[in-house]
Amino acid sequence: MQKDNSHEPQQRPNQKRREYPNRGRPHPSHVNQRRQNKFTTAVFLSIGTCALLGMIGYQVFRTGADSNEQGALPAYLTKPQKNGFANTPLISLEEVIQLQKNHQHLADNHQNVRRQLQETQDELDELKRSVFSRQGSHRDAEVHKLHAKVNQKNQTNAYLKGKVNSLQKELDKVSKQVHAKEATIASLNEMIAYQKQQREVVPVKEEAPASAPVPVTVLTTNPELEEKVTSLLASSLNQMQHTLEKGRNHTEMEGKIAEMQ
């Protein structure tokens, strides 16, 4: 059975096969990348070379400037100079080692001195803090004592003021009672005086006939009334003495309060 190739394009007998000129070569983009990398490498190499040449030139210029400052060396040495250089003793290795040891010893001493100075400064700061804290605690104790004294004084003052107020109230009450007693005593004195006046005055009636007896009225004193008046006078005197004593105590209390304030 033959294969049907009618759908495939038929090749002309005289047609040559198409050739691709770039077959087997890299892509144009890869070529451009390689060229760019080469260009970048060349630029960096140029920059590095310029920097290196600049550093070398700077060192050469600096060396020339230092030599100009120090003075140019003579082209030749005289005989005395040669003899002087020949007779000059060179520093031995032992002396160099000794100098290094001396330098290290001085450095160690300097470090020790600095450490001791720091320790001394720390001790001084600690001493200052301790002294300040002690002074602060002592002052705090004194302040607490003063506050306690002030509070105690305020409490005493408040107690005394309350006592004075109570005494003042009692004094006012007693004063009212004394005024009432004085009024009662005054009324009783008036009654006693009136009774005495009535006793002294004896009324005489007109003469009656001889056959009839003459009635004589004599006022007699009332012993109960006199006893009552006497007791009232005694109690009033005692009450007045007690009131005067309270007044003295009140005056002394006010003087103490004034001294405390």
Q: Which range, of 42-46, 49-53, 205-209, averages the lowest pLDDT?
A: 205-209
Instruction: Name every residue whose Cβ is closer than 8 Å to that of residue 175 and which is 6 or more positions away in sequence.
Output: 243
Q: Is residue 249 within 8 Å of 167, Cβ to Cβ?
A: yes
pLDDT band at 88 (very low <50, low <70, confident <90, very high): low
**130 in any annotated domain:** yes
**1 in any annotated domain:** no
Structure confidence at residue 124 (pLDDT): 84
Q: Is residue 232 within 8 Å of 185, Cβ to Cβ?
A: yes
Q: Which range, of 48-52, 170-174, 180-184, 205-209, averages the lowest pLDDT?
A: 205-209
pLDDT band at 104 (very low <50, low <70, confident <90, very high): confident
- Residue tagged 């006693």 (tokens): 192
The percentage of the chain sitting over the pLDDT mark of 70, rounded to a whole number, equals 53
**50 in any annotated domain:** no
Structural domain that includes position 239 = 120-201+220-260
**125 in any annotated domain:** yes
**Average pLDDT for 123-143:** 74
**106 in any annotated domain:** no
- Residue tagged 């001394």 (tokens): 120
Does residue 118 carry a pLDDT above 80? Answer: yes
**173 in any annotated domain:** yes
Rounded alpha-carbon distances, angstroms, from residue 216 to 203, 213, 221: 8, 9, 16
Query: At 1, is the secondary structure helix, strand, or coil?
Result: coil
pLDDT, tens digit (0-9, with 9 covering 90-100), for 58-82: 888 887 666 555 554 454 556 666 6
Number of domains in the chain: 1
Residue that wins the pLDDT comparison between 141 and 37 = 37
pLDDT band at 158 (very low <50, low <70, confident <90, very high): confident
Structure confidence at residue 187 (pLDDT): 75
**33 in any annotated domain:** no
Highest mean pLDDT among 21-35, 137-151, 230-244: 137-151
Q: In whole angstroms, what is the distance from residue 45 CA to residue 55 CA?
A: 15
**226 in any annotated domain:** yes
